[in-house]
Structure 1
Amino acid sequence: MYDVRAVANFVLDVAEAHGRNVSNLHINKIVYFLHADFLVAFSRPLVTAKIEAWTYGPVFRELYREFREFGDASIVGRARYLDPETGRKKNAEWHFTCEEEEFLRELVRKYVSMTPGALVAQSHIEGGPWDRTWNHETKTNASMKISDEAIKSWYERTVKH
């Protein structure tokens, strides 16, 4: 499993190489769908971060906080973390295996070409993980966490997005 900030930086690197802009809303949806695809393909999570159901779909709180200064504009920086050894902020670096990188790179190209609105609509599909979390009938999911089990179960048995 990888730090969600490093995965976001990978998305931003690929998007930049293809001349695509990515907003905060966009990056959260792209990383969510990468996580879902990775769960199905590799039978393990891509990221360690918790995924929450927010109004506009699945959100990684770490990414939202990291990029909120950009609002709905294009992200022009990279996600950072505090290095415990130096006490300084450093860019989160991604280090995937060749197989993982190839798999993810192809998907990032696909997702960055989609509008944030299209990704939000896809994440809101009726009966999907976000919908079942957001529209739950009990108060047992106060954190609105979308579980990896719900994501994997849904995307294993549905038409891919």
Structure 2
Amino acid sequence: MLSAQTVANRLIELARKEGKAFTPLQLQKLVYLAHAWTLGLDHKPLITNRIEAWQYGPVIPDMYDQLRRYKAEPVKQLIPAMSEHIKPRQEDIIKEIYKTYGDLTGGQLVSLTHKKGTPWSEVFNNGAGQWDIIPDDLIQRHYEEKLAKNNQ
């Protein structure tokens, strides 16, 4: 498993190669999606960090703390993180997330993670579950179901 910061840094690097940058909100959602799809595809987590249900969707609190200074501006620097080796399978998923979701705005990514029936919506429950942890088993089940529907 990797830290969320390592995954975010890889996404930042991919964006830089194309002259793009992500806001903290976009990075939160992209890292979440990489983690979620890894759970769905490989049945194991991508990141070690906890994910909570906040007003604007799934949030990785420690990464939020590191990025809050940017507010809604693009993140210009890599996030301080431990040096971790990204395995080829992890790299493939991160690149696919970048390719699939990397052009979406923060608002579009929020809408995507806010849909009825998503792990966030089940935990957040109209605010009753704000700041509660979104468990990996709930995320995994949801993304396995999405895969099963796509393969029918």
Q: TM-score, normalised by structure 1?
A: 0.84
Whole-angstrom distance in 2 between the partners of 1:50 and 1:57: 14
- Structure 2 letter corresponding to 1:130: W
Structure 1 counterpart of 2:144, one-letter code: E
Structure 1 position 106, deviation (Å): 2.2
Q: Provide the residue aligned with 1:9 in structure 2.
A: 9
Write the distance in 2 (CA, Å) between the matches of 1:43 and 1:94.
21
Spell out, residue by residue over 1:9-39, the C-alpha distance to the aligned partner (whole angstroms, 9 max, x if none): 1111111112222001110000000100111
Match of 1:89 in 2: none
Question: Partner residue of 1:23?
Answer: 23
More helix by proportion, 1 or 2?
2
Deviation at 1:142, TM superposition (A): 7.1
Aligned-pair CA distance for 1:97: 1.6
Query: Alignment partner of 2:72: what SS?
Result: coil
Report the Cα offset of residue 100 of structure 1: 2.2
Indicate the structure (1 or 2) with the bigger Cα radius of gyration. 1
Q: What letter is aligned with 2:87? A: T
**How does 1:106-145 map onto structure 2 within 5 Å?**
106-135=96-125, 143-145=131-133
Q: 1:100: which partner in 2? A: 90
Unaligned runs of 5+ in 2: none
After TM superposition, the structure 1 = structure 2 runs for residues 14-93 of structure 1, keeping only pairs within 5 Å, are 14-81=14-81, 92-93=82-83
In the alignment of these two chains, the number of paired residues is: 148
For the pair 1:146 / 2:134, whether they are aligned, the reply is yes
Partners of 2:126 and 2:107 lie apart in 1 by: 23
- 2:121 and 2:2 map into 1 onto residues whose CA distance is 26
Q: Which has the higher strand share?
A: 1
Name stretches of at least 5 consecutive residues in structure 1 with no aligned partner. Answer: 82-91
Deviation at 1:54, TM superposition (A): 0.5
**CA-based RMSD:** 1.9
